[in-house]
């Protein structure tokens, strides 16, 4: 018998929950992938680190009754992708170094770039088919990255399953670059790829604070995007507007079915110091919790999510702070699915 008040035991499942795949309502797809990460590598180790940090959480949720009864199952981390990621990271590190020093590509570099783009396509297809299979089993797929390139396939599956889906993106970056550093499926291109390869209705971006001119132009001319920049939100807070009001203003932009793509770097970097591309500014986790409560209160439905860019400490394997926060973010998002 599982007692949610007991000390959690590491049983291989997320949060030490006692559910199998066949019992599960929600299945977490871990994606150990960070091939296109340009700054700090390490988000490929995010799923394992979050899984290991997860049993220490307590299950009480002030807003969701018996939250632990939500039957969550964590799929085994797929070894094929772990190996593929390691292999390709050697190639991509070299390409990125050349690009950043302005060294022209040789024919071999071009071939390597092609190989990475092909593998990314293969990964997207794998995630898409996995998500579809979970839907077909009458369960809900959610995704834990990896870098922010990983959720394209699952967002595609959701956009086919749900009509008028909007994506709520919590992120420091707009991720609207077209083939960043030559990588078609870059972490920095995910929302461009979502807009061009799925039929989502709206993209609502929150917390964006590190962005280039081309992305600003993209946002201005694309009617499906609505961006709440970090500086706009913060200035309004400083001027006395409440977070409650701002959350209502965000919620009203969403369609009835909401998918959340949560890049951990949308939070204040003190909560994710080892993430791939940390940026000062951002949110407390409780502010995002409040935003999601407001969205549900406004009558909209949170149907699915991904959490990405969580990375363990590269220098100190005993420091599990990033993974700890990641596990709490995952728990928070999961609770919003149970409530539906
Ligand atoms: Mn991102």
pLDDT per position as a tens digit, 171-185: 999 999 998 888 999
Distance of CA 32 from the midpoint of ligand 1 (Å)? 16
Distance of CA 277 from the midpoint of ligand 1 (Å)? 9
Q: Please determine, for residue 125, whether its predicted confidence score (pLDDT) is greater than 90.
A: yes
User: 3-state class of 169 per DSSP?
Assistant: strand
What is the SS3 string spanning 179-243?
Answer: CHHHCCCCHHHHHHHHHHHCCCCEEEEEEECECCHHHHHHHHHCCCEEEEEHHHHHHHHHCCCCH
Distance of CA 263 from the midpoint of ligand 1 (Å)? 5
Confidence (pTM):
0.96
Distance of CA 4 from the midpoint of ligand 1 (Å)? 34
Q: How far is CA 249 from CA 92, 125, 208, 297, in A?
A: 41, 35, 16, 13
The pLDDT value given to residue 33: 97
Distance of CA 187 from the midpoint of ligand 1 (Å)? 6
Distance of CA 191 from the midpoint of ligand 1 (Å)? 8
The pLDDT value given to residue 7: 78
> What mean pLDDT value characterizes the chain?
95
Distance of CA 9 from the midpoint of ligand 1 (Å)? 33
Distance of CA 172 from the midpoint of ligand 1 (Å)? 7
The predicted model gives 183-210 an average pLDDT of 97
pLDDT per position as a tens digit, 25-50: 999 999 999 998 877 889 999 999 99
Dist CA 277 CA 264 (whole Å): 10
The pLDDT value given to residue 339: 58
Q: Please determine, for residue 340, whether its predicted confidence score (pLDDT) is greater than 70.
A: no
Residue spans of the domains in the chain: they are 22-338
**Tokens 């964006």, residue?**
208
Q: Do 143 and 150 meet the contact criterion of CB atoms below 8 Å apart?
A: yes
Distance of CA 245 from the midpoint of ligand 1 (Å)? 25
Distance of CA 199 from the midpoint of ligand 1 (Å)? 20
pLDDT per position as a tens digit, 59-85: 888 888 888 889 999 999 999 999 999
Percent of the chain with pLDDT over 70: 99
Residue 164 has which token pair? Answer: 């008028």
CB atoms within 10 A of CB 245: 12
The pLDDT value given to residue 274: 95
Q: Do 180 and 186 meet the contact criterion of CB atoms below 8 Å apart?
A: yes
pLDDT per position as a tens digit, 271-323: 999 998 999 999 999 999 999 999 999 999 999 999 999 999 989 989 999 99
Q: Class of 22-338 per CATH?
A: alpha beta
């Amino acid at each position: 018998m599982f007692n949610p008040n007991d000390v959690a035991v590491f049983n291989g499942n997320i949060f030490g929950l006692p559910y199998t795949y066949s019992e599960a309502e929600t299945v977490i797809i871990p994606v150990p992938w960070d091939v296109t990460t340009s700054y700090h590598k390490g988000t490929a180790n995010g799923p394992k680190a979050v899984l290991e940090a997860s049993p220490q959480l307590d299950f009480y949720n002030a807003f969701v009754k018996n939250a632990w009864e939500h039957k969550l199952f964590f799929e085994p981390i797929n070894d094929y992708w772990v190996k593929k990621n390691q292999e390709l990271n050697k190639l991509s590190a070299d390409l990125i170094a050349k690009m950043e020093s302005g060294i022209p590509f040789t024919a071999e570099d071009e071939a390597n770039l092609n190989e990475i783009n092909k593998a990314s396509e293969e990964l997207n297809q794998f995630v898409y088919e996995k998500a579809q299979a979970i839907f077909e089993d009458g369960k809900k797929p959610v995704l834990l990255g990896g870098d922010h390139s990983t959720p394209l396939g699952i967002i595609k599956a959701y956009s086919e399953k749900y009509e008028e889906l909007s994506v709520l993106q919590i992120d420091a970056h707009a991720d609207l670059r077209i083939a960043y550093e030559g990588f078609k499926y870059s972490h920095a291109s995910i929302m461009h790829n979502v807009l061009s390869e799925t039929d989502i209705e709206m993209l609502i971006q929150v917390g964006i604070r590190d962005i280039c001119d081309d992305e600003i132009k993209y946002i201005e001319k694309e009617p499906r995007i609505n961006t709440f920049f970090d500086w706009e939100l913060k200035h309004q807070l400083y001027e006395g507007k409440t977070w409650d009001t701002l959350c209502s203003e965000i919620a009203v932009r969403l369609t009835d079915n909401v998918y959340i793509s949560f890049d951990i770097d949308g939070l204040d970097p003190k909560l994710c110091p080892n993430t791939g591309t940390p940026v000062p500014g951002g949110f407390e986790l409780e502010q995002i919790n409040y935003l999601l409560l407001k969205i549900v209160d406004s009558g909209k439905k949170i149907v699915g999510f991904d959490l990405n860019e969580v990375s363990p400490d590269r220098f100190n394997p005993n420091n599990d702070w990033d993974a700890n926060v990641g596990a709490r973010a995952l728990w928070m998002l999961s609770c919003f699915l149970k409530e539906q």
